[in-house]
Structure 1
Amino acid sequence: VLAANAPAGASLRTVPAASGIDLAGVSVVVLDNVSAWTLGRGAARRLARRVTDGGLGLLVLGGDAAFAAGGYADSPLEDLLPVSSRTGERPPLDMVLVVDASGSMNETYETTRKLALAKQAVLALRPALGDADRIGIVAFAGEPRVVSPLTPVARWDDLRAQVIGIQAGGGTRITPAVEAAAGLFAPPKEGDKTVRHIMLLSDGRSEDFDVDHLVALCRRGNITVSTVATGTDAYQVHIERLDALAYQSGGKCIVGGLGYLAETFLYNLAHARGEGIREVMRDVQWVRPEPIWRAPGPDPVLVPSYNVTRPKEGADVHWVTAPLGTETDASPLLASWRRGLGKVAAMPWPVGRIQWSNSPRDQAQFAPLLAWLSAQPLPTDWSARLVRRGGACRVRVEERSEAVGKSSAPFVATPLADSGEDAPPVVLEQTAPGIHEGEVAGGTAVVVHRPDDSGAAVTLSAPGRPPPEFERLGVDGAKLEAIVNAGGGRIHASPASLVEAVEHIRARGYKPVGIHLLWAAAAMVVLQVILRLLGRL
């Protein structure tokens, strides 16, 4: 559906988020149920800068690994999106990690020991924890060993040293391990809102696993349990018991590869806090069509579930959950805003789980949305180009004569890189009335804008690279103007401007070839006449 409703000339490229995002020549990025941990903090920062400083469009779709459930609240995505994943004060958390340290955890997954991957996953929890949260650790093989009682996260260095020191060896008995973990919690108190949670990691080989006893124990202590089952043994033999323990105690059971343990732990943590997706079928209600649509369109589809978020001040909320019973607060289902030079839209519900058919209703929803995200307004009062001087690359901005002096805001040039860190922006200096220049270093493209121009910007491709506008070549004037700007050329508004360009070319040692082409054409005509006369003779 996205491909069918993309703007004319655009193509859709699908890549796994874990492999990284190549932003070269991209006008819109769609994150489909991607967690902040899978994307990575560095990639999220680079994506945010491409939106704010590079004019990139971003569409974020929800699901069980997105927004609060995907760790957005503690990532650079939180400041970028028109909805917040911080929906209220987080309750304090007491969590005990029960880590399988039996002999089977000495086996390797690809080139890394299973136990080493488990330690990495435990340490990866730190960014999602508050200093008031408390973490306990139990390692188990034949018998459990309390590695650390419930300890405030403020003492993370002590916890980290204890985790690193865990060694594997022996058999596996899950029942005494979970009993030891439950014993680390104080008896529950009336009115205490602390989340009490056990996270159990095991490859499933257990000599002692009494599900009914453990469920009853955890219910008495008001403790939820999540289980993380890894390896083929867990899936083939013990998955039903791991799932029963988690389900009956109010937690989640996840069966996944060891390569994704860190993401699995973080997902379980979000669910334990109550930040997961809300599994309730809801009707959708229009609120405001602008600026994407001119008027409300057809009623959107029913949403099977949604991520609880809240709209931010300044965001345009288009769809919300329709009222249900006595519920007064509506959750946003589609919101958008302009962020710097770019545009961002958020759909915090599992859009990817709907069976779309590209019907007229689907087209009326997605085509305007993608067109709005990809549209980049071009300036009308100035143009920009890249010039080479003494081996350095400089940006030159020229204001139209009638616009000189209208604004005192400086021009800013931001170099962008396809990978790695982008160079800092450069404020251009005024070298003459209506002329602004500045030297830029690095990057494969440069975005030039003026802060008071309502998002108008020009993207210049670095020398030696074809501008991305050529991939979307059209016949209308706006696209042709974009190609001229991206290629480092200039649009001539008057004959005087053209004369200046010709003089510039002559100064660089080039000569006009128009007169030579005329002489060559005249010679060809004369030659053709002579040949015809000779043919008659």
Structure 2
Amino acid sequence: MKHWSAPLPVRSGVWFRLAAIALAIGALITAYLPAIRGPVHLLVLLDESASMPRAWMDEAWSDLIPRLAELPPDSRLSVVRIGSRPVVEIRGRALDRVGPLSGDHTERLPRHLPLNDTGTAIAAALTQARELLGRGESGLVLLISDGRETLGHAAPVLRRFVPAGIPVLWWDPSRGRTLTDAGVTSLEVKSGTDGVIVATVGISAGTLQDAQVLVMRDGRPALQRQVALEQDQIRLVELGLGHDRLAPGFHQVTAQVRATGDLLAGNDRRGLILNVAGPPRLGLVARRPAESPVTRSLTAGGWAVEVTDAAGFDPKRLDSLGVLILEGISPAELSPAAWTSIERAVTRGGTGLILLGGPGTFGAGGYRHSTLEALLPVTAQAPDRTPAAAVIYAVDTSGSMAQPTRLGTTRLELARAAVAASVGELGSKDQSAVLVFDVQARVVLPLAVRGAGTRDVAEAWHPSPGGGTRLAPVIDRTLGLLAAPVPDQRLLVLVSDGQVTDPERAVDLGGRIKTAGVKLSVLAVGDAAAGANLRALAQAAGGRYQEVADLLELPRLMEAEVERRRDPIESGPIRPQALEPLPFAAAPVAPWPELAAYPVTRAREGARVYLAAPNGDPLLAAHRAGAGWVLALPAGLGDWAPDWPTWSHWGTVLGGLVDWAAGGGEPMAARLDLQPDGSRRLQIDRVEPAGTWSPATPLALRVQDPEGREIQVQAEPAAPGRYTARLPDGPVGHYRILATEAGAGAADLWYQPDLEFTPGHGLGEGPGGAVAAGLLVPWSAQDGGLPLPRLTGRLPRALVLAALLVFLAGLFCERFPFSRIAATDRPTAPTCIGRGPGCRRERRFRRGWGSAIPLR
């Protein structure tokens, strides 16, 4: 028997080839059948930069909306707005076949997210579109723009869309239109020989039109004039702003043009920061201005000083001041609105603040947790070495204390919270107790030492208001608690609405409190008529009476009263000691005159102490509060510093303090530029007072933008005296740069990049050349429906893949059979018997699985 093998017949592979051809033809046919085109992801890129009229974009969006309804079912939409960085407004939202947009969107162009319009980053927007497109998803990109690319290069990004088969359409809304625009191209300000301040404004116009020019100075209108403009010409207009001399310091000057039909608003305004040299204008607020040695010395030194008392203080004058001096002023002497204005002038406007303390300030002046204290480099909190005190908190729990406040809580609940906050501020050696009273008095927390932040004060008592109010029981109980061995400082803080049933005993009870040596502070939370009884009690005790008009202030006022009545004063004589050289003194100043006394304070974290008492208490401290310098001399320069006005260095020190507060520090120059990648680069040039470049170490900066926001950045050294840092996107306008480390320093600048309005910029390699290269396809809504990409859907791809697999399978079967083919020889019957040469044989080829294929 003979065994041999043979390949599968060649004609078997024909069927594989025919099947592959059929599948390929099917793929080609289905690609052009609209009925089976699959969904498409439309990515709309909208140019919202400053050089693109918003009205044109709104019109283009309205024309596009009907075209969205023509997209295949299950299509999706993404919308990207283009500025210096792209912003994704809609991300892969499904389209409804009936309405153009599904969900809560309307037919108005979506502008929900902030966009920096100072540049046009088409390349970045195209990259964003590519990332939004899902893998294997059929996509179509529509770019709606005038083609002015100012950041990046779009051509390399467009080339990446070609092999992916993603068409990119370009709709130019400016095609065939005339841009009506008027803008400010330049602004210069100078002082003429006659003292007139002159602003020179450059104005350009795209068409012939009349316009109004408005010049603003420090946010207030200074001049307005009507001017005639010529088409495609720049006109220089000189405007006199008046003879009034600008105060020394930084001033913001802006020019704005207003014209009928002006389509672009981004170039309508231009500003600059004007630095006027000269001594700053001072404002001094004192209790007794005529008696102040500071007032007399500054006036004699030629300083321009506006002097007033607390009652005559006008917050509107803060804008014209370089330095504000507060002498012996407590927070209660000025209104909350006035303190808010002072805080804004210091932290945002850069006005310097000098606080001169003295009797009745800091702890005794109720500074604790006030707006004023938040600005200072020292706090009114007494240090641990202050003599211990025993503080009794007596809270009225009568029925009238159950009246609700505007917060929805009762008077009693606010009083309980105020007590807890005040106890938490006591020193580690102080003792405290809590009494509640109506017609009787009871102790809810006994007299004991409680650490700061103790929770049991608020949780240990939850009184239910009810009944009347009597003063005698609570005074008797208080004096009984303080009769035991307690610290020398003994305080009673009484909170009540004053509706008592034993008013005739108020004077007698007050006398008993005074005789016992207890300091009384009364906080009246009721109306003025009922408070008369409490006032009589406080006057008889030699204590303080304060009406709480705003119950939200009760916690702060209670803490301030405790600090005030403790009266942490160090008596002298005290010889100040210099801890650091003063920034304005060329040589060390010594010896310093003695002080008769000073209020005890603590230096705030980050503040620098230049003068201190022998025990370390700060006597002159300084720090920056936002944009302005704040200096504090707790002892003041009045009653507790009697020898200072006759001191030989008095003029140098006083003038140096004023110059320091006006913005002293190392000279700085700042520049802010928009970079090609859309980021902003801040450059700082800084020198030492001796004229040498600053050392090559990182520089900590605080940057305030035109909207009042503040960020902290670290500038890295780029060269001797030069530092650079990257800033996030921000608006056009006035920026203030503050160096917060040793030497400090400040710089002001006006940021307004001209990139968007530079004629012809960015057209060379932009989308204009991409059309000729076949990277962009011009289109508009007037051309008809959106040209959908070919081979949409998955069916054609599947057919092409199946054709390829079938073809490869045929080749494999022809070249590499999957089993051996067996051949057997056996005689056929009955035609042949034996094995002779004439015997005819039939060969049967048997496949491996048993079927026989006869071959002859």
What TM-score range do you get, normalising by the shorter chain?
0.5 to 0.7
Q: Is residue 440 of structure 2 the alignment partner of residue 153 of structure 1?
A: no
Q: Is residue 470 of structure 2 the alignment partner of residue 173 of structure 1?
A: yes
Structure 2 residue corresponding to 1:207, chosen from 497, 501, 512:
501
Q: Which amino acid aligns with 2:713?
A: P
For structure 1, which runs of at least 5 residues remain unmatched after alignment? Answer: 296-302, 321-327, 354-362, 465-487, 490-501, 511-537
Give the CA deviation at 1:171.
Answer: 0.9
Q: Distance in 2 between matches of 1:57 and 1:185?
A: 46
Q: Is residue 522 of structure 2 the alignment partner of residue 227 of structure 1?
A: yes
Aligned to 1:102: 398
1:98 is paired with a residue whose SS is: strand
Distance 1:186 1:422, change over 3 A: farther
Contact 1:83/1:346 (CA < 8 Å) preserved in 2?
Answer: no
Corresponding residue pairs, total: 436
Q: Is residue 356 of structure 2 the alignment partner of residue 58 of structure 1?
A: no
Q: Which amino acid aligns with 1:395?
A: L
Contact 2:391/2:491 (CA < 8 Å) preserved in 1?
Answer: yes
Give the CA deviation at 1:244.
Answer: 0.8
Contact 2:379/2:603 (CA < 8 Å) preserved in 1?
Answer: yes
CA displacement 1:396-439 (0-9 Å, x = unmatched): 34689xx9997322344322368987433223363999673423
Report which stretch shifted further, 258-267 or 103-112.
103-112
Aligned to 1:436: 724
Distance 1:156 1:291, change over 3 A: closer
Q: Distance in 1 between matches of 2:369 and 2:700?
A: 30
Aligned to 1:272: 565
Give the CA deviation at 1:176.
Answer: 0.7
Q: Which amino acid aligns with 2:519?
A: T
Contact 1:225/1:252 (CA < 8 Å) preserved in 2?
Answer: yes
Give the CA deviation at 1:77.
Answer: 5.3
CA displacement 1:221-248 (0-9 Å, x = unmatched): 6543322234212444552233213x1x
Give the CA deviation at 1:193.
Answer: 3.5
Q: Which amino acid aligns with 1:203?
A: D
Aligned to 1:374: 662
Q: Distance in 1 between matches of 2:321 and 2:448?
A: 46
**Structural mapping, 1:82-101, within 5 Å:** 86=382, 89-101=385-397
Distance 1:108 1:418, change over 3 A: farther
Q: Which amino acid aligns with 1:60?
A: L
Contact 1:428/1:438 (CA < 8 Å) preserved in 2?
Answer: no
Aligned to 1:445: 735
Distance 1:56 1:430, change over 3 A: farther
Q: Distance in 2 between matches of 1:345 and 1:254?
A: 30
Q: Distance in 2 between matches of 1:109 and 1:229?
A: 15
Distance 1:69 1:386, change over 3 A: farther
Q: Is residue 683 of structure 2 the alignment partner of residue 396 of structure 1?
A: yes
1:125 is paired with a residue whose SS is: helix
Q: Which amino acid aligns with 1:253?
A: Y
Q: Which amino acid aligns with 1:146?
A: V
Distance 1:54 1:150, change over 3 A: same
Looking at secondary structure, tell me which structure has more helix per residue.
1
Q: Distance in 2 between matches of 1:384 and 1:84?
A: 40
Q: Is residue 410 of structure 2 the alignment partner of residue 137 of structure 1?
A: no
Give the CA deviation at 1:263.
Answer: 3.3
Contact 1:95/1:134 (CA < 8 Å) preserved in 2?
Answer: yes
Aligned to 1:121: 418
Give the CA deviation at 1:168.
Answer: 1.9
Contact 2:603/2:621 (CA < 8 Å) preserved in 1?
Answer: no
Q: Distance in 1 between matches of 2:630 and 2:658?
A: 11
Give the CA deviation at 1:89.
Answer: 1.1
CA displacement 1:430-458 (0-9 Å, x = unmatched): 39996734234669735254957x33442
Distance 1:371 1:430, change over 3 A: closer
Contact 2:506/2:534 (CA < 8 Å) preserved in 1?
Answer: no
Q: Distance in 1 between matches of 2:506 and 2:528?
A: 20
TM-score by length of 1: 0.58
1:201 is paired with a residue whose SS is: strand
Q: Distance in 2 between matches of 1:265 and 1:315?
A: 29
Q: Distance in 2 between matches of 1:292 and 1:85?
A: 29
Q: Sequence identity, in percent?
A: 22
Q: Which amino acid aligns with 1:257?
A: A
CA displacement 1:19-71 (0-9 Å, x = unmatched): x99x99996565673559x999xx99x979x87x9976332243677423356
Q: Which amino acid aligns with 1:345?
A: L
Aligned to 2:363: 68
Q: Distance in 2 between matches of 1:166 and 1:93?
A: 26
Q: Which amino acid aligns with 2:735?
A: A
Looking at secondary structure, tell me which structure has more strand per residue.
2
TM-score by length of 2: 0.39
Give the CA deviation at 1:134.
Answer: 3.0
1:436 is paired with a residue whose SS is: strand
CA displacement 1:235-273 (0-9 Å, x = unmatched): 44552233213x1xxx43334424332333123211332
Q: Distance in 2 between matches of 1:227 and 1:418?
A: 45
Q: Which amino acid aligns with 1:142?
A: V
Distance 1:423 1:66, change over 3 A: farther
Distance 1:63 1:204, change over 3 A: farther
Give the CA deviation at 1:133.
Answer: 2.8
Report which stretch shifted further, 438-447 or 306-315.
306-315
